[in-house]
Structure 1
Amino acid sequence: MDQAVIFDMDGTLFRTETILERALDETFERLRSEGRWQGATPIDAYRSIMGVPLPIVWETLLPHHETAVREATDGYFLTRLVENIKSGNGALYPGVTELFKRLSGMGYTLFVASNGLIPYLEAIMSHYGLNRWITETYSIEQIDSLDKGNLVAQIVAKYDIQDGFVVGDRLSDILAARANGLVAIGCRFDFSQEEELRQADHIVDVLAEIPDILTTRHVSR
């Protein structure tokens, strides 16, 4: 396969904050109604760990709760995220569809590798019609390790990717690129952190900057 571009989803293509606070508050309201939580919804705590797999989210936000409660909370949160997407409460970052059209026209093969769960990713892909350009979407729940580097490795192996890029906003995306001999493009968006972005090969402030990087950077694994 010629060059490929592997995109993260949350905080890179999808503006997660447009549904995050609503879904999280709905979830913690349920916990409050069950007597399992007191006080405000920990939205800031979630933002600080945005991008990690959901099991780690609930270990962090509900450290003193039983596993069964965390699992039930995870399931309810997922349903609220999906329903908010289907209701049109979410949004893509500006220029996503234009970028996909341009890169597809340039001959790049596009993928998504995300820490999001399959129903969540399917809701986004379907609602915004992104499958027109994305060859395949990979979810972290497809691998036992919960390591994005291993997830990207599956794409690289299946499609025999020789040259390519990983585009994302967090360190896990940058490390996944490095582990697979790909170029890391860091997105300086809502949940990104400067100390993490400094480890990327390139940094963009808007998605429209990506094609110029791709056309000037030749990758050799």
Structure 2
Amino acid sequence: MSQSLIFDMDGTLFQTNTILEISLQETFNHLEALDLWDKETPIEKYREIMGVPLPVVWETLLPDHSNEVRQRTNEFFHEQLLANINRGNGALYPNVKEVLSYLKDKNFSIYIASNGQIEYLNTIVIYYKLDKWVTETFSIQHLQTLNKTDLVRTIVTKYNIENGAVIGDRLSDINAAKSNGLLAIGCNFDFAQEDELSQADIIIDSLLELKIVLAKLNAEYTKVNN
């Protein structure tokens, strides 16, 4: 099996919920101060749609607001996310660094493909020093289509990946894997949904399981091709 792994970021490597609630609350407090909001902060609604591109997020959370207000709100929210990461309020999932270090030592090439914005992803990568293991991070902002499948295809094409896996928690990750001829490894983490995960080739409950899963797959591949 090709030594190439493409990870999602939010809900897979990074525990987005550690900064999500506080950043969203700060954002809707801001809207309320501007007389643009008078309801409860829609945290649960945001959890339901985690993983979709940000324009879709604000169309969903602010259906009755103008595109201009949505854009300004997105910018404010983004600023709060970055600030909370840099304040140390965020967290990686357990064993992320251990697993990435292990995979790197086993000569896996590691990439990140995320619907997050470029600056947001770079802030996480820099703060947690993920660039020690990650070859390159790709944001949906790099594409006009805002499509995860197209984003993964960009990585596959750039690095000539023939076999490998996409590791993520949502259906967009699973679809991106299968559409590009890659293995779909679903992460049963915070934002995962059972009906979506059921479409993955393999489901893991912890990133540590990747060690066993990938070793087994590699052994099977070697056996078949020898």
| TM-score between both structures, scaled by the size of structure 2 | 0.95
Q: Which runs of 5+ in 2 are unaligned?
A: none
Q: C-alpha displacement at 1:216, in angstroms?
A: 1.8
1:124 is aligned to 124
Displaced runs of 4 or more, over 3 A: none
Q: Tell me the percent identity.
A: 53
Check the 8 A contact 1:3/1:162 in 2, yes or no: no
Rounded to whole Å, the distance in 2 between the matches of 1:52 and 1:44 is 15
Q: C-alpha displacement at 1:40, in angstroms?
A: 1.1
Rounded to whole Å, the distance in 2 between the matches of 1:200 and 1:146 is 22
Rounded to whole Å, the distance in 1 between the matches of 2:109 and 2:95 is 18
Rounded to whole Å, the distance in 1 between the matches of 2:212 and 2:172 is 24
2:37 is aligned to 37
Letter in 2 for 1:130: L
1:139 is aligned to 139
Q: Give CA deviations for 1:161-203 in whole Å, capped at 9, x if unaligned.
A: 1111000000000000001000000000000001000000000
* SS, match of residue 165 in structure 2: strand
Rounded to whole Å, the distance in 2 between the matches of 1:26 and 1:52 is 21
* SS, match of residue 177 in structure 1: helix
Rounded to whole Å, the distance in 2 between the matches of 1:157 and 1:36 is 44
Query: Which structure 2 residues correspond to residues 65-144 of structure 1 after superposition, within 5 A?
Result: 65-144=65-144
Rounded to whole Å, the distance in 2 between the matches of 1:150 and 1:97 is 27
Q: C-alpha displacement at 1:30, in angstroms?
A: 0.5
1:8 equivalenced with 2:8 (yes/no): yes
Q: C-alpha displacement at 1:2, in angstroms?
A: 3.9
Q: Give CA deviations for 1:19-68 in whole Å, capped at 9, x if unaligned.
A: 00000000000000000000211001100101111100000000010000
1:168 equivalenced with 2:204 (yes/no): no
Rounded to whole Å, the distance in 2 between the matches of 1:108 and 1:3 is 4
Rounded to whole Å, the distance in 1 between the matches of 2:211 and 2:154 is 25
* SS, match of residue 207 in structure 1: coil
Task: Report the RMSD for the aligned CA atoms in angstroms.
Answer: 1.3
Aligned length: 220
| TM-score between both structures, scaled by the size of structure 1 | 0.97
Q: C-alpha displacement at 1:3, in angstroms?
A: 2.0
Q: C-alpha displacement at 1:150, in angstroms?
A: 0.2
